[in-house]
Amino acid sequence: GAVVSQHPSRVICKSGTSVKIECRSLDFQATTMFWYRQFPKKSLMLMATSNEGSKATYEQGVEKDKFLINHASLTLSTLTVTSAHPEDSSFYICSAVWGGEQFFGPGTRLTVL
Amino acid sequence: GEDVEQSLFLSVREGDSSVINCTYTDSSSTYLYWYKQEPGAGLQLLTYIFSNMDMKQDQRLTVLLNKKDKHLSLRIADTQTGDSAIYFCAETSNQGGKLIFGQGTELSVKP
């Protein structure tokens, strides 16, 4: 149990386009999901806390208009990178909370050309 | 703010023990975690320890916590090549709340 999926696993897009990444809890409901960003050989940086039915809480320095988060149901949160640029290229990982623990998705590799 | 520090690299021989160290600054940390990340993959929870515990053992894994020094370690006994990965420690003051991660320690196991 407690499986989290992400889609797509890998995406390449042109500069200026928007990309949506989905995070799903497959066998449990999650009121809270988190979005992290990981640079190569670096730690995970928390971007925002996604709460079902309410606005996401963004960490300091993360542009909320750039990284749109929607947690429309108890099993799905989406992260949309708007007007993507090469510096947005990164590995994006989500997690979903169940039973007091965070379960992580497999990550999405975004490359912006 | 809260900070979690780890050494970046560790290299061991197959069959040896590996010890990965972590220090943290948040005195209100309640839960401390160890995660494993293989290349291109998400994070796998290995083990965790409550702040009121000194030690936790789970098969080949032993976690030691020195709360006074804010020092956490993960010992992997009889390290195998399949243990090669990046290991992250993380802490939170609120179970299910946001995690603060260390930089990750890249463990390389040589045959």
A contact test, residue of B7, B43, B50 with most A CBs within 10 A: B43
Contact residues for B43 (Cβ-Cβ < 8 A; gap 6+):
A44, A93, A95, A104, B35, B36, B37, B88
Q: Which residues of A touch B42 (CB under 8 A)?
A: 4, 6, 93, 104-107
**Are residues B40 and A49, on separate chains, in Cβ contact within 8 Å?**
no
- Beta carbons within 10 angstroms of residue A58's beta carbon: 17
* 3-state DSSP of chain B: CCCEEECCEEEEECCCCEEEEEEECCCCCCEEEEEEECCCCCEEEEEEEECCCCEEEECCEEEEEECCCCEEEEEECCCCHHHCEEEEEEEECCCCCCCEECCCEEEEEEC
Strand partners, B106: B9, B86
- Can you give the pLDDT at residue B40? 81
Q: Is A43 on the interface with B (CB under 8 A)?
A: yes
Q: Which residues of A touch B7 (CB under 8 A)?
A: none
Percent of chain B whose pLDDT exceeds 70: 99
Task: Among B42, B45, B104, select the one facing A105 at the smallest CB separation.
Answer: B42
B contact test, residue of A5, A102, A108, A110 with most B CBs within 10 A: A102
> Which strand (E) or helix (H) includes residue A2?
none
Q: Is A58 on the interface with B (CB under 8 A)?
A: no
- Give the model confidence (pLDDT) of A5-60 as tens digits: 999 999 999 999 999 999 999 999 999 999 999 987 778 899 999 988 889 999 99
The residue to which tokens 């799903």 are assigned: A24
- Can you give the pLDDT at residue B29? 84
User: pLDDT digit of tens for each residue in chain B (111 aa)?
Assistant: 678 999 999 999 999 999 999 999 988 888 999 999 998 888 999 999 998 999 999 999 999 999 999 999 999 999 999 999 999 999 998 878 889 999 999 999 999
- Distance in Å, alpha carbon of B41 to nearest chain A alpha carbon: 5
- Can you give the pLDDT at residue B66? 95
- Give the model confidence (pLDDT) of A66-94 as tens digits: 999 999 899 999 999 999 999 999 999 99
- DSSP assignment of A40-70 equals TTS-EEEEEEEETTS--EEPTT--TTTEEEE
Angstrom distance (rounded) from CA B62 to CA B41:
24
